[in-house]
Amino acid sequence: MKRFPRRAALLAAAAVALLPTTATAAPAYPDPLPLTGRQIIHDPTVHQLGNGQYVAYSTGGVIGARLSTDLRDWTDAGNAFTTPPSWWYDYNSSADPWAPDLSYRDGRYWLYYAVSSWGTNHSAIGVATSPSGLPGTWTDHGPAFTSETTDTWNAIDPAIVRADGRLWMAFGSYWTGIRMVELDRTTGKAIPGATIAHLATRPDAPYAVEGASILHRGRYYYLFASYDACCAGVNSTYKIRVGRSTKVTGPYTDSTGTPMLNGGGDLLLASHGRYIGPGGESTFRTHGRTWLAYHYYDADDNGTPKLGLNPLSWTKDGWPVPL
């Protein structure tokens, strides 16, 4: 209960037109922004494009796309690609892509995504570029990074971040958790022979940490990650934790100093009310603030996965708080 006055003060100070207009959640976990239209989504990555529209790409389809002009009302916009690139079938018999990551640099939009199958780390992360970021405009450039059954990591769930003029990609899941590799800024692909850094894991098998997203703010890099079990509707136990580091490659620790390599991570968002298993998160900036995008399973709609959006505020000592 001690957190409630602090959160109320943050809400009042940060009130803007886009913030949720209701507050029915438990004090520690705010409800997501009320949305209309096409809300069904999984593992969203959200970005405001040069034309002012917001796009959300996601798992499913040939990288499913949603568009919005105001973050509140979303329409189905088809897929990033009209047909799956042929190489996807080497990693998934139905060419089903997972967990995309959208970013912008060097005059182009960059879309990273995973192609894999359940229960194996014979996986690949692909990369595509577009001049506009809109669905149907993407050119695929093949695998940016791969993993095999002999590796102790899994090449899924990409997350791109720039640091000190260099380009990095966090990735990983079960198979020892979150890893990181440096990318070539020109090709957008992993530098051959690059060291694979280790960012987060659990001390207990099956090391259920995945869905990384990294945000640079001030002197820190913040690592957001999804813990526990995804993709089971109302039985999902996903939750979002966060740690930070002064270096992009870590070590990342939580507010108590516990390393994320030892199961640490402050609990940022967990199940509450109808909003079950929030995870598959990413962050984006718009209207001068940082937002958290994720999926949750709607207990009032048979566990349907839907888009969650919350703005982030920050404590005096620099930790994120969803509003």
* Residue 292 domain boundaries: 3-322
Is position 210 annotated as part of the catalytic site?
yes
Domain CATH code at residue 254: 2.115.10.20
Nearest alpha-carbon partner for 275 in 16, 4, 22, 13:
22
Amino acid at 42: H
Are the C-beta atoms of 293 and 56 separated by less than 8 Å? Answer: yes
In the chain, the number of structural domains is 1
Integer Cα distance of 150 and 160 in angstroms: 25
pLDDT 10s digits, 74-128: 999 999 999 999 999 999 999 999 999 999 999 999 999 999 998 899 999 999 9
Considering 210, 254, 281, 298, which one is annotated as catalytic? 210
pLDDT confidence of 21, banded at 50, 70, 90?
very low
pLDDT 10s digits, 214-259: 999 999 999 999 999 999 999 999 999 999 999 999 999 999 999 9
Considering 43, 101, 182, 281, which one is annotated as catalytic? 43
Are the C-beta atoms of 234 and 299 separated by less than 8 Å? Answer: yes
pTM of the model: 0.91
Residue appearing with tokens 């002197």: 219
Backbone angles phi, psi at 88, to 5 degrees: -55, -35
Q: How far is CA 207 from the centre of its chain?
A: 18
pLDDT confidence of 159, banded at 50, 70, 90?
very high
Is position 281 annotated as part of the catalytic site?
no
What does 248-302 look like in DSSP terms, one character per residue?
Answer: TT---B-TT--BGGGT--EEEE--BTTEEEEEEEEEEEETTEEEEEEEEEEGGGT
pLDDT confidence of 205, banded at 50, 70, 90?
confident
Integer Cα distance of 278 and 98 in angstroms: 17
Buried b (16+ CB within 10 A) or exposed e, 108-121: bbbbbbbbbeeeeb
- Judged by DSSP in three states, 11 sits in helix
